[in-house]
């Protein structure tokens, strides 16, 4: 809120004394609003709604009577604006939302989103943002649900998006209304997650958001549009496919390409770039969008971004990882456009240094992504010259990549062992935990990356390449480990492969891992 900031403003000698009076008047206004909230009950609510309905009726009549004489209905519009402002006080008493719905005020309020006077529609947008604000709805789950259900039933999504299309970023008030429209939609998704798919089914919001992220100039609404787009895409295959059909992969790639050789100028712009990569990674979940990504030369763009070593370096690796998971054509393209050199430089820890990536967690995430990417390459490229080029990376420079692989194996193995011991101690302390929960805890501690490292070692062992096998055996011996240790990790991985992609795919995946286990 702006009022507290104004009240906290530091005073300096020589300040205009009038400013002190302004501050006092603000204090008075705040006190009055607090008193009003305290007094807000069903009787007051009915009065507010009745007064609003009366002013609305007067405005409709004046506009019908004098359609070509704005000066004749201007006063009624000012009064309607004041009534909408008064309704904002309801945000102080969310427990009254069910009564607001019962009084049938919602349709009247929402219809004003189509009002000929954009200012009135903007008033409604601000009112909706206030009523659905996350802080307001906290600990008021049932009233929030009742309000949002009523808003949805009365076409709030369609009306908000229709109004959005007539607002311009060039007008400060309209720019603020755009932001609050997106905020209202986000607030409703928070209360009712199904809204994320409903708003995409019923409106042209996705198309509007794509148009917004296309714009070259950065502003707060472009940032927010990228955030809302990421929210709509996460956990929604329907939205991911829908956006893919709207040329969304290409548009997001174009938006990201603006930063292939430059860094964002501010932290807000940096956040927007991260949002765009979140969108890209969500888009890369469905198979058909992976195909679109490869056709749009997304693999090449990500390699360029990595080579430029700008702030999007790690995000580009993440996008490549998503594109290559269970999709051999992306793996093949990656090798064809000379991505191996860039990927293995990152694997060896040769990453660009900045304030952000000095953080330990950042480097760990990067390691995990690169390990996943290399595991995908081994799964996606099974034979031919591409396979030979991939394997040759592990022989060059006296097998330094195998040394690095074993270094990571030991580190992640130690972490998983520590977590396993911690979980055993918790069980001794009578904290019950089923096997699935224990397994998930171990995955979070690094077991999944350890499993992928074991898979890569398995692929190297299967080649029957004497130099590589000798190096692996030597390193295992140095660490007092045996091939059985790797087999145990692979067996656990095999036993926990899920059937998310269907029973047949599960069988195929398990057969591949079983073949690796048998080779040791």
What is the C-alpha to C-alpha distance for residues 504 and 500, in angstroms, rounded to an integer?
Answer: 10
What is the C-alpha to C-alpha distance for residues 232 and 238, in angstroms, rounded to an integer?
Answer: 10
pLDDT at 355: 63
Neighbour tally for 110: CB within 10 Å = 19
What is the C-alpha to C-alpha distance for residues 454 and 458, in angstroms, rounded to an integer?
Answer: 6
What is the C-alpha to C-alpha distance for residues 33 and 30, in angstroms, rounded to an integer?
Answer: 5
| Predicted confidence (pLDDT) at residue 519 exceeds the cutoff of 90 | no
pLDDT-based confidence at residue 90 (cuts at 50, 70, 90): very high
Q: Is residue 292 helix, strand or coil?
A: helix
pLDDT-based confidence at residue 34 (cuts at 50, 70, 90): very low
- C-alpha closest to that of 449 among 363, 372, 338, 346: 372
Query: 430-457: per-residue pLDDT in tens?
Result: 677 788 888 899 999 999 999 999 999 9
Handedness of CA 280, 265, 343, 366 (dihedral sign): negative
pLDDT at 209: 97
| Predicted confidence (pLDDT) at residue 31 exceeds the cutoff of 70 | no
Neighbour tally for 310: CB within 10 Å = 19
| Predicted confidence (pLDDT) at residue 375 exceeds the cutoff of 70 | yes
What is the C-alpha to C-alpha distance for residues 450 and 510, in angstroms, rounded to an integer?
Answer: 17
pLDDT at 29: 46
Handedness of CA 184, 186, 192, 195 (dihedral sign): positive
Q: Which residues are within 8 A (CB) of 365 and not within 5 positions of it... i.e. 6 or more apart?
A: 314
Above pLDDT 90, what percent of the chain? Answer: 74
Query: 145-174: per-residue pLDDT in tens?
Result: 999 999 999 999 999 999 999 999 999 999
Query: 387-411: per-residue pLDDT in tens?
Result: 999 999 999 999 999 999 999 999 9
Contact 461, 519 (CB under 8 A): yes
Instruction: Map tokens 């909230």 to a residue.
Output: 37
What is the C-alpha to C-alpha distance for residues 505 and 369, in angstroms, rounded to an integer?
Answer: 23
pLDDT-based confidence at residue 71 (cuts at 50, 70, 90): confident
pLDDT at 271: 96
Range list of H helices, 463-482: 466-478
Above pLDDT 70, what percent of the chain? Answer: 91
């Amino acid at each position: 809120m702006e009022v507290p900031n104004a009240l906290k403003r530091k005073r300096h000698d020589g300040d205009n004394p009038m400013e002190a009076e302004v501050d006092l008047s603000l204090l008075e206004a705040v006190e009055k609003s607090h008193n009003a909230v305290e007094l807000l009950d069903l009787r007051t609510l009915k009065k507010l709604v009745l007064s609003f309905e009366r002013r609305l009726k007067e405005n409709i009549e004046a506009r019908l009577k004098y359609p070509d004489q704005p000066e004749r209905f201007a006063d009624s519009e000012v009064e309607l604006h004041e009534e909408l402002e008064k309704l904002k006080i309801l945000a102080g008493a969310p427990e009254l939302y069910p009564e607001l719905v019962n009084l049938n005020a919602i349709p009247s309020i929402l219809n004003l989103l189509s009002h000929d006077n954009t200012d009135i529609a903007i008033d409604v947008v601000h009112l909706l943002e206030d009523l659905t604000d996350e802080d307001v709805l906290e600990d008021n789950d049932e009233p929030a649900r009742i309000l949002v259900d009523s808003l949805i039933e009365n076409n709030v999504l369609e009306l908000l998006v229709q109004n959005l299309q007539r607002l311009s970023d060039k007008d400060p008030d309209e720019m603020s209304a755009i932001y609050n429209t997106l905020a209202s939609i986000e607030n409703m998704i928070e209360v009712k997650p199904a809204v994320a798919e409903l708003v995409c089914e019923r409106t042209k919001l996705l198309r509007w958001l794509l148009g917004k992220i296309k714009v070259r100039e950065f502003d707060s609404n472009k940032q927010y549009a990228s955030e809302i787009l990421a929210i709509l895409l996460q956990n929604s295959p329907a939205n991911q496919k829908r956006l893919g059909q709207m040329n969304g992969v290409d548009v997001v790639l174009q938006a990201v390409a603006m930063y292939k050789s430059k860094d964002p100028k501010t932290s807000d712009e940096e956040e927007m770039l991260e949002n765009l990569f979140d969108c890209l990674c969500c888009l890369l979940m469905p198979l058909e969008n992976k195909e679109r990504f490869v056709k749009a030369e997304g693999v090449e763009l990500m390699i360029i971004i990595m080579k430029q070593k700008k702030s999007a370096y790690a995000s580009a690796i993440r996008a490549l990882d998503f594109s290559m998971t269970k999709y051999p054509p992306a793996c093949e393209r990656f090798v064809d456009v000379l991505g191996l050199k860039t990927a293995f430089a990152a694997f060896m820890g040769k990453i660009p240094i900045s304030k952000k990536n000095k953080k330990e967690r950042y480097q760990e995430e990067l390691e995990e992504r690169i390990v996943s990417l290399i595991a995908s390459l081994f799964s996606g490229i099974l034979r031919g010259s591409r396979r030979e080029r991939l394997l040759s990376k592990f022989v060059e420079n006296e097998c330094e990549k195998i040394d690095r692989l074993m270094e990571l194996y030991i580190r992640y193995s130690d972490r998983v062992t520590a977590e396993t011991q911690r979980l055993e101690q918790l069980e001794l302390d009578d904290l019950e935990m089923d096997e699935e929960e224990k397994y998930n805890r171990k995955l979070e501690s690094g077991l999944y990356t350890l499993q992928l490292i074991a898979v890569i070692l398995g692929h190297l062992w299967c080649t029957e390449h004497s130099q590589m096998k000798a190096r692996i055996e030597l390193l295992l011996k140095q660490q007092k480990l045996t091939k059985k240790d790797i087999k145990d990790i692979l067996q656990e991985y095999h036993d926990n492969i899920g059937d998310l992609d269907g029973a047949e795919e599960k069988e195929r995946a398990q057969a591949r891992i079983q073949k690796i286990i048998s080779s040791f």
